Chains A and B, each alone.
Chain A
Amino acid sequence: MPQGRRSIAAGWFAVPLLVPASALAHGFAVRYDLPAPLGFYLAGAGATVVLTFLALALWSWSRTSTSRTAPPQRVLPRAGRIVSNRWVAGVLQAIAAGFFVLVVAAGLFGDIDPYKNISTTFVWVIWWVGMMFINTFIGDVWALVNPWNIIFAWAEKLARAVNRNARLSLDLPYPRRLGLWPALILFLAFAWLELTWGEGEDPRKLASVIVRYSLFTWAAMVVFGRRTWLAHGEAFAVVFSTFARFAPLALGVTGHGGLRCEHGRETNAGVVTGCAACFEAAPPARRAIVLRVPGAGLLTQQPVSASMAAMVLTLLATVTFDGFLTTPTWIAIHEYLQALPLLAPLWEAPWMTLKLKFYLLETPVLLLFPFAFAAAFLLCCRLTSAVGAGATTGTIAGYFVLTLLPIAIAYHLAHYVVYLLLTGQFIIPNLSDPFGFGWDLFGTASYKADIGLIGAKFAWYTGVIAIVTGHMIAVYLAHRTALRLFSDGRRSLRSELPMLALMVAYTMISLWIIAQPTVQ
């Protein structure tokens, strides 16, 4: 079988590619991944279908009344006190702000070779991929080390030290209907920079983007207040905290009476869970770390807002789009669009450049992906609503959207494990010589990446196992959500069928992508 696949791949290589390096699919494009062989794809796909049906069979036989209760959690007040201890927090914040300044300075003044400059590896591998995994599998660490938050908070303190009544923020009321839309739009812009821009490897341009985003963020904090902007508009605070809903640890504030905190996060048994803004504002005695089963944070008592649902769907879509960019299918679409007679005058226009052509082909697809995901998801919610009766499509969407996240997390792991562990090693020499000036601060400047650290087989197994596991967690969460929504056992089981079908399809797409011959 691999032979057949290879010849297909070879065929694609032979096609004269008009696309300029279309698959510099990441800000820093050093990927050593081999596509997973067909056997891995088939085994993963088979396991996905069989296990989904097994789970359904199991649930249709057993009585599952206990599943209707909220998942258990443990509140750890002491851990909360440690995290918010002046010295612990101070050191963490100093390190985070230090790296932020270092990355920007290196980007602006260091060597322009992306391998010699710390900014590229730090931003694209260590921060964007690494921080994502820390937030997903540990807890919302980003909330504690977010340099935009830290630096603005320092400025606020400084202003108060100078003048007791000084306030940096105008604290204008944040329009409620804006929801998370500002964060969503900023995240889409970031996704474009990461996946389409193709200039993220240039330390100067990367630093200039960071500086602009920082100024914009701080300006927004001045207008709406620091915490409000972090909760609604700072793209990475919102994105990373969304992934952190999966994590076993969460920031918590005890002794809350209402159903939601003022930033819209839910309370569980009187504990606000996962709201960094509330955690920071609360008196130390009420701060805690909440321990829960991984994935439990994706079950909500009430439907999430429309903007939150859109945010999650956009995350799912961009994660998949990222992988889709390196498939032969994508190249075929590219070529089809370039050959369309309808578009020919556009491509031949005197102002058209190769790069602009590339942007024009890729950007609409990047923007279309979230809509396609949303359409498929809402269709399933509509079907669930028709079967389950009693709940509107919107409500069902608000309950179920987070249960899809484990599939995206798993795909992310499959997609990035090699990148993080092999390309991430560039950070070791970079730390000794962040600017590329020939320094050797820690004696690691001449470290060479060990490309044998993990092999292709390890990556394939990790990928397929992660994707199947993520799928099963998603299926289980959807099942629990259906049980909560529809009290009638039979109806609840039938009502979750559309969602399960969607999950199987989404998982299949993930598996399909990691098994595609890479085209670059």
Chain B
Amino acid sequence: MSDKAMHGPNAAQRNEALARVRSYARGRLTILAVLALAGGLFLAAPGYGAGTRTVDIEVRNGKVVGKNSVRVTRGDTVELRWVSDKPLELHLHGYDVTTHVVPGTPATMKLRAHATGRFPVEIHGEKKSSGGHSHKPLYYLEVYPD
């Protein structure tokens, strides 16, 4: 008998707590619905590009002449052909490709663009003396999803 008397208020409390949880959760249902919807969009299967892109880039006095970026598609084979009026050591971040350019001879960075993103090319060797602002990237390789 005393058991029953103890269960009564407990059950009521539990119900109240449950109702509170429900009311709180209801507001989040919309959020979940959005998540599910967007998750579905992920199922779009990624294809794979297969072209070859050759880009000629001229560096004069440590700056690129003309446009300082190129846009390619994931899966492309990319050839960046550099010419410079001064000897340079160039480093493509992310893909981690390094090349030496000597005046008069073009130097080529060749890679398969397997990862998407916007990857800077920096001139190496001059950075160490003064970090921070001095090493503004020379060029950008932009690999877009297909």
Contact = CB atoms under 8 A, between A and B. Distances in A.
Interface string A7-36: 000100110000011001000001111100
A159 interface: no
Interface stretch (A244-252, A255-263, A462-470, A484-492): A462-470
Contacts of B12: none
Interface residues of B, number: 46
A165 interface: no
Interface stretch (A67-75, A80-88, A99-107): A67-75
B76 to A, nearest CB: 14
Interface string B133-146: 11111001011110
B11 interface: no
A24 B133 contact: yes
A452 interface: yes
A509 B116 CA distance: 25
A293 B54 CA distance: 53
B24 A293 contact: yes
Given A34-B144, A456-B145, A518-B118, A198 B133 contact: yes
Contacts of A30: 93
A33 B136 contact: no
A67 B93 CA distance: 51
A20 B136 contact: yes
A31 B118 CA distance: 8
Contact of B142 (A34, A198, A296): A34
Contact of B46 (A66, A457, A469): A457
A21 B131 CA distance: 12
Contacts, number: 125
A21 B135 contact: yes
Contacts of A476: 27-28
Nearest to B34: A468
A153 interface: no
B38 interface: yes
B115 interface: yes
Contacts of B98: none
Given A64-B23, A66-B19, A66-B20, A455 B31 contact: no
Contacts of B69: 13
Contacts of B114: 452
A71 B24 contact: yes
B133 A72 contact: no
Interface stretch (A47-55, A141-149, A395-403): A47-55
A461 B132 CA distance: 32
B67 interface: yes
Nearest to A358: B133
Interface in A285-307: 293, 296
Interface string A316-344: 00000000000000000000000000000
Contacts of B17: 72
Contacts of B134: 20-21
A204 to B, nearest CB: 9
B145 to A, nearest CB: 5
B96 interface: yes
B94 A32 contact: yes
A16 B23 CA distance: 57
Nearest to B127: A113
A469 B67 contact: no
A34 B34 contact: no
Interface string A184-201: 000000000000011111
A469 B35 contact: yes
B27 to A, nearest CB: 4
Interface of B: 17, 19-21, 23-25, 27-28, 30-31, 34-35, 38, 41-42, 46, 67-69, 71, 74, 93-96, 114-120, 128, 131-137, 140, 142-145
Please list the 4 inter-chain residue pairs (A to B) with the smallest Cβ-Cβ separation, ordered nearest first: A32-B117, A21-B136, A456-B116, A452-B115
